[in-house]
Amino acid sequence: MNNLNRREFIKTTAVAGVAALTSPVLSSEIASAQTKGKTFKPIAISSGNGTKALEKTMELIKKGSDALDAVVAGVNIVEDDPNDMSVGYGGLPNEDGVVELDAAVWHGPSFRGGSVASIRNIKNPSKVAKLVLERTDHVLLVGEGALKFAKAHGFPEENLLTDKAREAWLKWKENLSKEDDWLPPHSIEDTDIGEIISKYTRTYGTIHISAIDLNNNLSCCTTTSGLAFKIPGRVGDSPIIGAGLFCDNEVGSAGSTGRGEANLLNLSSAMIVEWMRQGKSPEQACIMACERVQHRCKEKRLLDEKGRFKHGVTFYAINKDGEYGGANLWEGGTYLIHDGTEVKKIECAFLHKRDDK
Ligand code: GLY
């Protein structure tokens, strides 16, 4: 590059740089103006417990709702449902019998996230997570602070422990054995401690939804009561951006359900989006997340006799073009897609066959 050209180059790039710096943060309204007159095919993906949630999400998106508003309204149905014992009201409590909820949201067009962890007495943590995004300079609020923030915004405190959940907790407590999360000093080679495949309904259930709205903007939400009978204060992957969900409006959106510890150690959702950025399909990216969890787990107590990661972890992803995919470490997982017409149940890709003994 000669001097003149270099000066020109610097001038041009400097102007471009200033323009980039002074451009307002892209809001959904701005994105909407940019795509004026053009509407895109909406799509929404969820975990298997999201049929009604997806119907709500798509109903709102078709009316022109921003994807974030739509996914939060969708998951609110499951948070309100006492019969889903993995999310919100009626969720299984911690080991003290207290329900603690985790949730996070991500808004693609503004590239912002919000989350709450270990929040008690508030039925809809996803709504509080959205308010953290919209009404604070923070990303994550936890415990007492998250509760105070929710109350400041008018959320009522409610008892979230249903009789059904309390009875399940009591049964677990009455059968306490090695099925809790406290580990004595041990070696990475130990296989007979901390066994957590349970007869007593210890689940990691959760709901995740990622969606594309009519303006081709992506957003997502993950919300959960977390691992049943967890140590109080345990935070799973759901409220941790990059672990239980991630989204890049230029690339795609991803989330997960299942053993949160695996995603906290692998930042699985961020990795899925990055793999999609590199050209992988959503399904390929989800399988790569499964492989990463499997490959990096060195703790024998978490592996079966063939060295396979024992737990289920399911990944869900959509890309900017509306392609979608899901994968679980184990055969038999499913996910749901709403393609604008109806909800479809789809078999997940998987790493391990169940009968592969
Ligand atoms: N994936 C939900 C949890 O582990 O809390």
- Residue 240 sits in a domain of what CATH number? 3.60.20.30
Percent over 70 (pLDDT), the chain: 83
pLDDT at 36: 54
Euclidean distance between CA atoms 294 and 312, whole angstroms: 11
Query: Would 7 be classed as within a structural domain?
Result: no
258 lines ligand 1 (CB under 6 A): yes
Euclidean distance between CA atoms 137 and 140, whole angstroms: 10
Residue bearing the CA closest to ligand 1, atom 4: 260
Q: What residues act catalytically?
A: 206
Query: Would 187 be classed as within a structural domain?
Result: no
Euclidean distance between CA atoms 238 and 126, whole angstroms: 11
Average pLDDT (210-227) is 97
Percent of the chain as helix, strand, coil, to the nearest 5: 35, 20, 45
Average pLDDT (274-281) is 98
**CA angle, residues 69, 75, 77, in degrees to nearest 5:** 110
User: Which 3 state secondary structure label does DSSP give 296?
Assistant: helix
Neighbours of 153 (CB within 10 A): 12
312 lines ligand 1 (CB under 6 A): no
Q: Which domain holds residue 168?
A: 41-177+194-352
User: Which 3 state secondary structure label does DSSP give 278?
Assistant: coil
Query: Would 24 be classed as within a structural domain?
Result: no
Pocket test for ligand 1, best of 47, 196, 224 (most atoms within 8 A of CB): 224
Closest C-alpha to 116, from 137, 98, 94, 141: 141
Pocket test for ligand 1, best of 85, 204, 268, 316 (most atoms within 8 A of CB): 204
Average pLDDT (234-242) is 98
Average pLDDT (192-207) is 64
Pocket test for ligand 1, best of 142, 230, 237 (most atoms within 8 A of CB): 237
Question: 145 vs 11, 101, 221, CA distance in Å?
Answer: 48, 13, 21
Query: Would 17 be classed as within a structural domain?
Result: no
User: What number does the ligand 1 atom closest to the CA of 235 have?
Assistant: 5
Q: Give residue 250 CA to ligand 1 midpoint distance, Å.
A: 27
Contact 85, 151 (CB under 8 A): no
Could you give the number of structural domains in the chain? 1
Query: Would 90 be classed as within a structural domain?
Result: yes
- Over the range 218-235, which residues count as b (16 or more CB within 10 Å of their CB) and which as e? bbbbbbbbbbbbbeeebb
Contact 219, 253 (CB under 8 A): yes
Query: Would 109 be classed as within a structural domain?
Result: yes
| Residue 3 pLDDT class (50, 70, 90 cuts) | very low
240 lines ligand 1 (CB under 6 A): no
| Residue 356 pLDDT class (50, 70, 90 cuts) | low
Query: Would 189 be classed as within a structural domain?
Result: no
Across the strands, what pairs with 107?
Answer: 112, 219
Query: Would 32 be classed as within a structural domain?
Result: no
Contact 282, 135 (CB under 8 A): no
